[in-house]
Amino acid sequence: MLPADFISRLQAIVGRDNLFTDPVDCYAYAYDNSRKIFPPEAVAFALNTQQVRDVIQLCNQCAVPVTPRGRGTGTAGGSIPECGGLVLSLERMRNIILVDPANRLIVAEPGVLNQEIQEAAKQHGFFWPPDPSSSAYCSIGGNLATCAAGPHAVKYGVTRDHVLGLKAVTGNGEIIKTGCATTKGVVGYDLTRLIIGSEGTLAVITEATLKLTPLPQSVGGITAHYADITHCARAITAIMAQPHIPSALEFLDSAALDLIRGRHPGLLPENSRAMLMIEADGGTAEIADSAEAIRRACQNDGLITAEATADPAGLWAVRKALSPLLRDIAPKKINEDIVVPVSRLPELLQGLGELSRKYRVANVNFGHAGNGNIHVNLLINPDDPDEMRRGEACLDEVFDLVLKLGGTLSGEHGVGREKRAYVGREIDAQTMALMKQIKQVFDPNGILNPGKLFP
């Protein structure tokens, strides 16, 4: 329950038009793409840094939990108001403050959509590399909070590699400025990257200086099909061992291909049991060189075909068709984004197959193979308690396998509430204790996105 005068004080800060208290209105802010539901008691829409500060100070004074939220597209439950209280939505802070092509940067508020940043940058021949599949409707605030990535991370890196500085409000209600406007800068501690990926548990980002990258001159695509997953995994390793870094290297396993075949007959060769979608970008001559080197690396006994794609944009049609199909057949699937060193992918993919058989849980695996980042989808029916139990036991072993192979539990989705129970397997006790102390420094009263990220 909120304290008596909380809502009136909140309204004094953000105004009546930027406040929801009706449970019907609040319900839309109860969930994200993890599909768990925890309704907040109120939703406030801040319009500027000062309002964010005032709201967080009020929440500190009233001991009200506050969950910052972008567009709620995360899959790990990081923006769910699990403890009730207030959702602080940044979606109305939508100004692009500065587009500065001469210095290759954009300064923007957190509610600006990833797509809008791309459009503003494109006019000047640039782009911002983080490209989650939700880019058309996710906000950069959320991209920063989760350190989002996407298929092009294999060449261009992840969010933390493309941010120069931040303005933010700590959990203690203090405005801080981190980083600088230039690509070099070593004055003080790197709070920029400490906040990036902290999933709104340390501070609320209210402004970001994003580093832009020149758009490649052109893009080429290769599609490769394999007779089995083992040979496909070997090809991934071979591609990543040679110097021409693909701009994307996406993988689909046989279950993913079968799903696509069901909806789009004739699109895929019948004997393909694993597929790679490979993109190379750069100048025309550079792409020709890369494509040749990559095609060479694709060769092995299991290769069915490796062909240049006439339309590189079409390359992604297959991949983008997949996620909605998965939702259709298993709306409550367990969706993970584990990572292993690329050379361990053959072992990982073999192990995932064995675990699927052992626990009788169908799985569909695809993802950003060039980074070793595989989206493992366990297709379970939550209304079947036995299948649920088997799914959870299977997941447990999947995580053990990943850590045994030197990997990490999450490449881009984050921990949120979905994976926190497993964090202690990856991060040792002393390092975790230090992280909790840092949380305490930023948010001494523990009001900012409480309960997230830590076990």
Choose which of 2, 84, 286, 323 interacts with a second copy (CB under 8 A). Answer: 286
Q: Does 283 bind a second copy (CB under 8 A)?
A: yes
CA distances from 66 to 79, 208, 269, 331 (A): 10, 21, 51, 29
Near a second copy in 158-177, by CB under 8 A = 158, 160-161, 170, 174-177
Helices (H) and strands (E) in the chain, counts: 15, 18
Near a second copy in 370-399, by CB under 8 A = 371-373
Q: Coil, strand, or helix at residue 203?
A: strand
Site string for a second copy, 128-157 (x = CB under 8 A): ------------------xx-x---xx--x
End-to-end CA separation in angstroms for the chain: 25
Segment near a second copy (CB under 8 A), from 55-63, 66-74, 255-263, 335-343?
335-343
Near a second copy in 214-233, by CB under 8 A = 214-215, 217
Q: How far apart are CA 27 and CA 17, in angstroms?
A: 17
Choose which of 198, 272, 365, 449 interacts with a second copy (CB under 8 A). Answer: 198
Q: Does 190 bind a second copy (CB under 8 A)?
A: yes
Strands ordered across the beta sheet of 42-45: 19-20, 42-45, 86-89, 66-69
Q: Does 325 bind a second copy (CB under 8 A)?
A: no
Q: Does 240 bind a second copy (CB under 8 A)?
A: yes
Q: Does 300 bind a second copy (CB under 8 A)?
A: no
Near a second copy in 19-78, by CB under 8 A = none
Q: Does 446 bind a second copy (CB under 8 A)?
A: no
72 conformational bin, left if phi > 0, alpha if psi -120 to 50, beta if neither: left
**Distance of closest approach, residue 381 Cβ to a second copy, in angstroms:** 28
Residue 165 DSSP code: E
**Distance of closest approach, residue 196 Cβ to a second copy, in angstroms:** 7
Pairing type for strands 203-211 and 105-108 reads antiparallel
Measured in whole angstroms, how far is the alpha carbon of residue 213 from the centre of its chain?
20
Q: Does 197 bind a second copy (CB under 8 A)?
A: yes
Q: Does 329 bind a second copy (CB under 8 A)?
A: no
Choose which of 419, 443, 448, 449 interacts with a second copy (CB under 8 A). Answer: 419
Choose which of 280, 339, 376, 379 interacts with a second copy (CB under 8 A). Answer: 339
Q: Does 187 bind a second copy (CB under 8 A)?
A: yes
Closest to 318 (Cα-Cα) out of 268, 391, 247, 363: 268
Give the nearer residue to a second copy in terms of CB position, either 181 or 308. Answer: 181
Q: Does 448 bind a second copy (CB under 8 A)?
A: no
Burial 373-387 (b: 16+ CB within 10 A, else e): bbbbbbbbeeeeeeb
Q: Does 186 bind a second copy (CB under 8 A)?
A: yes
Q: Does 184 bind a second copy (CB under 8 A)?
A: yes
Closest to 115 (Cα-Cα) out of 152, 149, 145, 140: 140
Segment near a second copy (CB under 8 A), from 97-105, 108-116, 252-260, 269-277?
97-105
**Distance of closest approach, residue 85 Cβ to a second copy, in angstroms:** 23
Segment near a second copy (CB under 8 A), from 193-201, 272-280, 326-334, 379-387?
193-201
Q: How far apart are CA 22 and CA 294, in angstroms?
A: 56
Choose which of 39, 84, 341, 446 interacts with a second copy (CB under 8 A). Answer: 341
Q: How far apart are CA 409 and CA 375, in angstroms?
A: 11
Locate 162 and state its tokens.
């493309």
Partners of 37 in beta bridges: 31
Taking a C-beta distance cutoff of 8 angstroms, is the pair 71, 29 a contact? no
